[in-house]
Chains A and B, each alone.
Chain A
């Protein structure tokens, strides 16, 4: 067995015993040993990870109706078959203009979907549905954020002494955000019949859970000195929360609420697709029935609206609270 210094002679750090003292050699040996152990662990975890990944992929492939590699050559067939008769068709579908291809089928019935305000003035159907979807998101964000605001103070350690209250409120929030939205929507659809109310309530419930968590974390991080001052002046709990905590946390609350509004626009689209009304439902029908022009019109509308909402809320956040709390925060979804 060679000595450490001999083993290390080739490396830039190792050198000879003469250059590295015995203590340093020992350290070097220790370092290498640790490095070796770490490499072994890394290798093992990579192998395990790959095994899980391959098993998962195989499982997914077996469970799927069409196998991935079998379907791949036909993948572009679908895109190729999904071409509107002419680019103008997309515009016509978007604005409910009469189509020259009209043959009485659903595929070209653009004008039938108009929503008339007066005898001649109408709103194109997709834009009308988009407005519904955005309104669903806005209403549920407003109600959800209000409820989360009221709840969050009861969940934070620094404001509520009673562990039981905190525990209950936190568990309620957890269930609210983990409960599948489609179940709430489905239950309410069965009771109230199809419409946007089910979607609003489903998204509101999720919003309360998700925002409540973010809110109480902000409250817990707030500076307690103003609170002490108010307590010294004899303020009660509500006054302390109102004048010591709320002014500190409000910018963060606003920022999170705006982010949630963005997320909720997407959520209301998805809930719409499973029966909650709005553009999601129209979209599912269009793509399911192979109506290419309609599908493209909706995709363009969705893209444009999502980009506009992103930009608008980014601008609003920047204006209201400055650059410092401006970060991409989808992680809390």
Chain B
């Protein structure tokens, strides 16, 4: 856009003298933004040093970061190939063994003289492991690693993907995995896309079967277990998956939802009648108004976290403290919002109902409630929505739900695939509940709110 509009100098002068107030701006109007940004920049700089951001980022273990993030969408098989005294190599699996006993593993095949061959992606990238020596193939070229006494040593002309690290040799094949060759064992990490054994663990009868086979078994296949149908059997095995703990995670997720639902609902039911006491135009007693409003303030200003920790101490970990915490904070917050809504109602309708001789309860029922109900419902739905999210966080301090599960999985520093799984579930649930609440809100009160 080069067509900058220009005006003649005399015209500019005329405008300037005729509308001085447009051209003359006060000091704060001129420089306020600059000064404000300057203060903010200085503040951020101070915080940068106060929080040690620089050193923390420098000392951060960023190699771990890529590893963790890779764990979100891929899995590692981590066998240890131990050198035995009789000259053979024995494969040992970690506790989270992804393969069944004696399974045929395509990338880990026995070779002659008791060794094993580990393939990384292609034939050209592999390790031939025997007790005396490990042949490392990178791009088709072989680099022998000799094992002697208490050290493994690689030949001198090795490429950068093979690193001599003290007594051990580390071989890196990028995403495909890596291996650590030591004097007594080779620690293999082989990485694959996806989540291993997500449906069934290796102990299950359905392990290793393709989707087609599973579908066939579910519909017309022979019963694997004469006591129950195959579908039933599948569901049991899926929920009982010892690695992924589906039943546990799903029930924790349900706990989170229950906490948000029951907490908000009880808060609503509690705040509803009390809001009428707190509203100045309904209850003419100033002391009652004041007391009720301070009660709301108290419930609201004590943080949800404090309530959660407090109730956890009383009732033990689980969803009850979570419900109670959400109930207490929401009762305070909703009470305040409701009371304000009630104070803003149109008085004419109450007068109308009063004029036909109705009792106070009836006056409020027909004079106030119809006016404020849409506001009440929409606010409660908002709170329900936001509590579905908060319930995850307070769960982490012991108030039940998936938050604690998340924290446990993160604490091990190995189960990042489980973390990803739970995060996906939470995102899904939050989106679904957002839409439900939005749909309800627009149906109940129209789209203008």
- Give chain A's interface residues, CB within 8 Å of chain B: 52-53, 56-57, 59-61, 63-66, 68, 71, 74-75, 78, 82, 135, 138-139, 142-143, 174-175, 177-183, 186-187, 190-193, 195-197, 200, 233-236, 266-267, 269-271, 273-274, 280, 283-284, 287, 299, 302-303, 306-307, 310, 328, 330-333
Contacts and interface: CB of A to CB of B under 8 A. Distances in A.
Contact of B406 (A183, A284, A302): A183
Contacts of A266: 303-305
Nearest to B265: A53
B26 interface: no
B1 A234 contact: yes
Contacts of A234: 1, 3-5
A155 to B, nearest CB: 16
B406 A328 contact: no
B309 A284 contact: yes
Contacts of A236: 1
A273 B315 contact: no
Given A177-B389, A302-B303, 6 more contacts: A139-B51, A234-B4, A266-B305, A271-B393, A284-B397, A306-B301
Interface in B19-75: 40, 43-44, 47, 50-53, 56-57, 59-62, 64-65, 68
Nearest to B303: A266
B314 A71 contact: yes
B383 A331 contact: yes
B255 interface: yes
Interface of B: 1, 3-5, 40, 43-44, 47, 50-53, 56-57, 59-62, 64-65, 68, 251, 254-255, 258-259, 261-262, 265, 301-306, 309-310, 313-321, 323, 333, 336-337, 340, 379, 382-383, 386, 389-390, 392-394, 396-397, 400, 403, 406-407, 410-411, 413, 419, 423, 426-427, 430-431, 434
A328 B379 CA distance: 10
Contacts of A78: 313-314
B320 to A, nearest CB: 4
A142 B434 CA distance: 27
Interface centre among A66, A68, A192, A303 (most CB of B within 10 A): A192
Summarize A's interface: helix, strand, loop or mixed.
Answer: helix
A303 B390 CA distance: 20
B47 to A, nearest CB: 5
Which 10 residue pairs of A and B lie closest in terms of their CB atoms, listed nearest first? A64-B318, A65-B316, A331-B382, A66-B316, A186-B410, A60-B319, A333-B386, A178-B430, A64-B320, A236-B1
A144 to B, nearest CB: 12
A270 B394 CA distance: 7
Contacts of A310: 301
A333 B43 CA distance: 26
Contacts of B323: 60
B386 A330 contact: yes
